[in-house]
A and B are shown apart, each in its own frame.
Chain A
Amino acid sequence: MDNTNNKICKEFESEMWLILDGSLEKQLQDNWNDHLKICSKCIMTLEEAKETIELYNNLPQENIQNSAFKKMINNAVSSQKNHEVRQYTSSIQKNRSLVEIFGFYRLAFGGSILAAALMFIFITFFNDPKIPEMNTQISNELLGWNTPDINRRLDNVESQIISLQTNDWDIYIVRKNKKEEWNSALRAIQNQIRKMNKEVVSTSM
């Protein structure tokens, strides 16, 4: 019985603060009121707590001087202005320039690399080298295939083709598709020459 009472009284030590706080549910409050009717120990605990709190609350409170308080208010207000300015500047910093973000030298280095890459792409894909109009020249040569010096002319044409493949081809940077076009043109010319050679042979016989 004593143990049960001790347990209840121990519980009261905590819950009495909710009673004093006025935040305990009515049912629980009623239960404690019933307990207090029979428990002098808890009544004493409650009274002592109330008394101590009252004593504490009656102590004079520390105060801050008016002048100091006004100064603090002014400081707080000016601090708020600074705070707003800081917020504004930090929002500006979010939109800062690339130079500020990366630094001048990094930006210059990166810019140079980018410019070089763009130049390479432009030269490779968009700046077509001027290819001499070999087709026209060759066809002009081929137009006179039935002249007496046909073999010499054919040799000239062939040598021109070979020189084109060895020299001009290496000199000019030609895109792959251009190269293929050029190769197919050359193959057509070579076929034409072979055809002409056969005809020459057949006519001479």
Chain B
Amino acid sequence: MQGYRKQLFSYLVRFCGNKMAAEDLFQETLIKVWNGIKSYNEQNKFSSWLFSIAHNVALDYLRSSSVRKSSSLEESYEFSDGNNPHRNYVEKESYKMIMDAVKELPDKQKNVFLLRQHGGLSFKEIATELDQPLNTVLGHMHYAVSKIRKKLSEEYG
């Protein structure tokens, strides 16, 4: 569980776009994992199981919260080099830009993109998890990445 700590938390932060909410969702995911650990089938990948729980928890949150709160995510990550302000600035700007692009993605594309990038689920596993055809999932991934790239090229020229 400790090994997935960063991945899981950043997944939740990027999924709901709110660090405070992500902490609550992280806690809820932990509780569900602890309570349901007996139902985990060891033949399946732990990360798939873990992220499918986190995904459902996050979906419930989005369904229940009528207004999607937005808050700055800048304080949520650690700077790679505290002594290099320029690098920090570039990193911060890229982070902000990409996060904004992810935030603006339609839910279906965001689901696929985040599950792939953070959960490490294969596209077939994502298709099973989201109950969608594999081609649809691949299409969502392509459009998600294209939109992020487009956003970046707009900003950087």
Contact = CB atoms under 8 A, between A and B. Distances in A.
Whether chain B is bound by chain A comes out as yes
Contacts of B33: 76
B23 interface: yes
Interface residues of A, number: 32
Interface in A43-83: 48-49, 51-53, 55-57, 59-64, 68-69, 72-73, 75-77, 79-80, 83
Among B23, B78, B138: residue with most chain A CB under 10 A:
B138
B80 to A, nearest CB: 6
A15 interface: yes
B22 interface: yes
Majority SS at the chain A contact face: helix
Given A14-B135, A62-B76, A68-B23, A75 B5 contact: no
Interface of A: 13-18, 21, 23, 48-49, 51-53, 55-57, 59-64, 68-69, 72-73, 75-77, 79-80, 83
Given A56-B117, A62-B10, 4 more contacts: A13-B139, A52-B152, A63-B10, A76-B27
Q: Which are the 9 A-B pairs with shortest beta-carbon distances?
A: A62-B76, A14-B138, A60-B77, A61-B10, A76-B30, A76-B34, A62-B10, A62-B13, A80-B34
